[in-house]
A and B are shown apart, each in its own frame.
Chain A
Amino acid sequence: MKQIKVNQKCSGCGLCIMNSSYLEEDLEGNAVPVPGLAIKEGDLEAVKKLVSECPEKALQIKETGVAAKPGIAGIQDIIADLNKKCNQLSVKQITSSDVRFNVKDYPLAIPHSNKEYCREYTSESSARSAAKEEFNRLCYSESAYRPLLKKVFVEYKVHVLKPFYICQDVPDSFYYEYNEKIRAYLNDAYAEICGLIGNDRIPESWKNFSLYLSEKEWSIEALRNFDDRSDKSGIFTYLKSLPHSSFNDYVEYILYDYDKRYVGEGLFGKSKYIKMWYFYGLNDRINEFIQHLTWAFNYRADEIEEAATNFINSALKSFEEMLKKEFNLKILKLQELVK
């Protein structure tokens, strides 16, 4: 069968699209052949004229198709070709480099304390307690660090893992490209078959193809809920094991000082003052904590990537099995229809 091919020289002027139903526009505005359309005999001269009028000489008529014989005999060639394509079909497994976890891509929000330099403590011990409590509240308590970890995992999930757990027929899905591949095979086969035996033997619905894993598949669910691993990632445990990263190590370096505040006059007219204590250097300790947390993320990056890779490869394996099975069913259906 003859089909139009468009090469890289296409400038997207659209002349051929306006003058022919064999071409359509892609997302970039360039001309692309309409999938699964073979040039009819009666249209050949018009298509040749179209090809000659392309200002960029980007169009060609090419002999495609696999049938070596006319009629039903040729269809056996098409079926054999489809079987070959089905056997060669494979879904490539990924490696951890395909799902890189780089904590620098997900900046950790640095908490900030407004209580530094607040002269509101009447003793050094109360200032110390307040400083420790503030550091715990912002960094070291569960309610502080768990959301920080969760945020990074959610961002990683949405930005890197999402294509692998989208189970709809949309370009964002990783599995979309494989569906498109099979659709192209079926479209071309259908076009060639119609050229050999006419349009009425094989229903148009035969070339439809859309196959995705179920959202309930365990690997898909694991990917969708990947951020649940933030609690089990061992990141905070690792942080605490680092030298000089225990709670006391951080708060030890918070600094304290006092100002004298005038409170009135004493019995003999002498001015009275009290010491008002404050702490400072807390925000520097917070920055240090965040830096250590970043190191901890980096340390655990390999494990995070490995977990993601395992889930994804399991999903891909299931997907490959289903894909081959469904493709094979299409070929069997075709064999039945042409008997």
Chain B
Amino acid sequence: MIIEGLAIGALINTVYNLNKAVEMDERALKKYAKAFEQHEEAELLVKRKAEYTDKRLSNVAKKKRAIIQNTVPRFTKVYGQIQKVNVQNKAEKREIILKNSTERLSVLNAISISVKKEFTDKEFVCGLITKGFARTMVMDSEKYLSAANNQMRASNVVYSQAQSIGEIYDAIAGRADRIAKLLMAMNALFVKSITETERVITTNGLDVRRYSEYDKGILMTCVNIAVAMSDIIDVPVVDEDGVLCDSALKMIETGEQYIKQMNSLIES
């Protein structure tokens, strides 16, 4: 499983207090069998939910990995050209305003530099790609997770109701799906914008004087989308212990709002 803490949390610790002094007649045996069957069914249900949640978490990792491997390198190339258009004509007052974006693009910039690094699913899901560029840092977080798991085992975490565990898994899978949907929409927008920017630069070259206000708007939009993407790319689904990240919710809502606005702009 991507997050081991979730797997441990799925253990249902049930103690059967079978009073062996009681005569095990047919009725009692049937009751026992039914109770035991319900226990097994509950465990199976939790196991299925855990597997499903793991798949949905993997899906988030998949979407992020696809963006990093396919879209970010394209943007990096285009951004280099945008900067050339800007730098070459700095003296001209009509340069494309890129201030405030460079810092916020540092996430994407750093990702593109280390694009050859193989991020693990856990790093994507827990929002560790910006924290884990140094391999040692990733190993530290894995050690931490292992220690946390040992502690949970020792304390014998007990879930009294299979349904509660199921609800937890449902919530995590729901959050994962929401993030995956946002990533897909952002990526589609980003790719469209990069393609349009490439077209504009190919048509107009590097001389900013050839750019109409509309053309400049296309380039700026591309950079703005990249800034939004750099905020969203590292949104965690859960933390390293498998707990939903409330702090990420605001970012997700902002991202969804952004997509809505951009789509209505495009349609108009």
- Interface residues of chain A, those whose CB is within 8 Å of chain B, are 11-15, 17-19, 25, 27-30, 53, 55-56, 109, 111, 137-138, 142-144, 146-147, 150-151, 154-155, 157-159, 162, 172, 227
From A14, A55, A147, A155, give the contact of B24 (CB < 8 A). A147
By beta carbon, the residue of chain A nearest B48 is: A172
From A29, A142, A143, A227, give the contact of B63 (CB < 8 A). A29
Q: Is the CB of A11 within 8 A of B62?
A: yes
Q: How far is the CA of A12 from the CA of B187 in the complex (A)?
A: 12
Q: Is the CB of A15 within 8 A of B187?
A: yes
Q: Is the CB of A158 within 8 A of B41?
A: yes
Q: How far is the CA of A26 from the CA of B69 in the complex (A)?
A: 21
Q: Is the CB of A147 within 8 A of B18?
A: yes
Q: How many residues of B contact A (CB 8 A)?
A: 35
Q: Is the CB of B65 within 8 A of A158?
A: no
From A138, A143, A157, give the contact of B23 (CB < 8 A). A143
Q: Give chain A residues whose Cβ lies under 8 Å from the Cβ of B71.
A: 13, 55
Could you list some 10 contacts between A and B, CB below 8 A? Answer: A11-B62, A12-B59, A29-B55, A111-B20, A138-B20, A147-B24, A154-B33, A158-B37, A158-B44, A162-B44
CB distance from B218 to the nearest CB of A (A): 19
Asked if B58 lies at the interface with its beta carbon under 8 angstroms from chain A, I say yes
Q: Is the CB of B32 within 8 A of A150?
A: yes
Q: List B residues 59-82 near A (Cβ within 8 Å).
A: 59, 62-63, 65-67, 69-71
Q: Is the CB of B40 within 8 A of A12?
A: no
Q: How far is the CA of A124 from the CA of B138 in the complex (A)?
A: 65
Kindly list 19 other residue pairs between chains A and B, CB separation below 8 angstroms, not including A11-B66, A12-B63, A15-B184.
A13-B71, A14-B63, A14-B184, A14-B187, A25-B59, A27-B55, A29-B55, A29-B58, A55-B66, A56-B70, A143-B22, A143-B24, A150-B29, A150-B32, A150-B33, A154-B37, A158-B37, A158-B41, A227-B37
CB distance from B183 to the nearest CB of A (A): 7
Q: Is the CB of B23 within 8 A of A15?
A: no
From B16, B24, B44, B69, give the contact of A159 (CB < 8 A). B44
Q: Please judge, given known A-B contacts A55-B70, A143-B20, whether A15 and B32 are in contact too, CB under 8 Å.
A: no
Q: How far is the CA of A203 from the CA of B183 in the complex (A)?
A: 38
Of the listed residues A27, A137, A138, the one surrounded by the most CB atoms of chain B closer than 10 A to its CB is A27
- Interface residues of chain B, those whose CB is within 8 Å of chain A, are 16, 18, 20-24, 29, 32-33, 36-37, 40-41, 44, 48, 52, 55, 58-59, 62-63, 65-67, 69-71, 180, 183-185, 187-188, 191
Of the listed residues B18, B20, B22, the one surrounded by the most CB atoms of chain A closer than 10 A to its CB is B20
Of the listed residues A142, A158, A162, the one surrounded by the most CB atoms of chain B closer than 10 A to its CB is A158
Main secondary structure of the interface of A (DSSP, over half): helix
Q: Is the CB of B59 within 8 A of A17?
A: no
Q: How far is the CA of A18 from the CA of B70 in the complex (A)?
A: 16
Q: Give chain A residues whose Cβ lies under 8 Å from the Cβ of B62.
A: 11-13, 28-30
When A and B form their complex, which 9 residue pairs have the shortest distance between CB atoms, in order from nearest?
A29-B59, A13-B66, A143-B24, A14-B184, A18-B188, A12-B62, A55-B70, A158-B40, A11-B66
Q: Is the CB of B180 within 8 A of A29?
A: yes
Q: Is the CB of A17 within 8 A of B20?
A: no
Q: Is the CB of A151 within 8 A of B63?
A: no
Q: Please judge, given known A-B contacts A11-B62, A13-B67, A137-B21, whether A28 and B55 are in contact too, CB under 8 Å.
A: yes
Q: Is the CB of A146 within 8 A of B41?
A: no
Q: How far is the CA of A315 from the CA of B58 in the complex (A)?
A: 37
CB distance from A94 to the nearest CB of B (A): 20
By beta carbon, the residue of chain B nearest A171 is: B48
CB distance from B249 to the nearest CB of A (A): 22
Q: How far is the CA of A30 from the CA of B65 in the complex (A)?
A: 13
Q: Is the CB of B66 within 8 A of A18?
A: no
Q: Please judge, given known A-B contacts A55-B70, A159-B44, whether A150 and B36 are in contact too, CB under 8 Å.
A: yes
Q: Is the CB of A147 within 8 A of B29?
A: yes
Q: How far is the CA of A155 from the CA of B40 in the complex (A)?
A: 7
By beta carbon, the residue of chain A nearest B18 is: A147
Q: How far is the CA of A143 from the CA of B29 in the complex (A)?
A: 9
Q: How far is the CA of A247 from the CA of B268 in the complex (A)?
A: 87
Q: How far is the CA of A138 from the CA of B20 in the complex (A)?
A: 7
By beta carbon, the residue of chain B nearest A12 is: B62
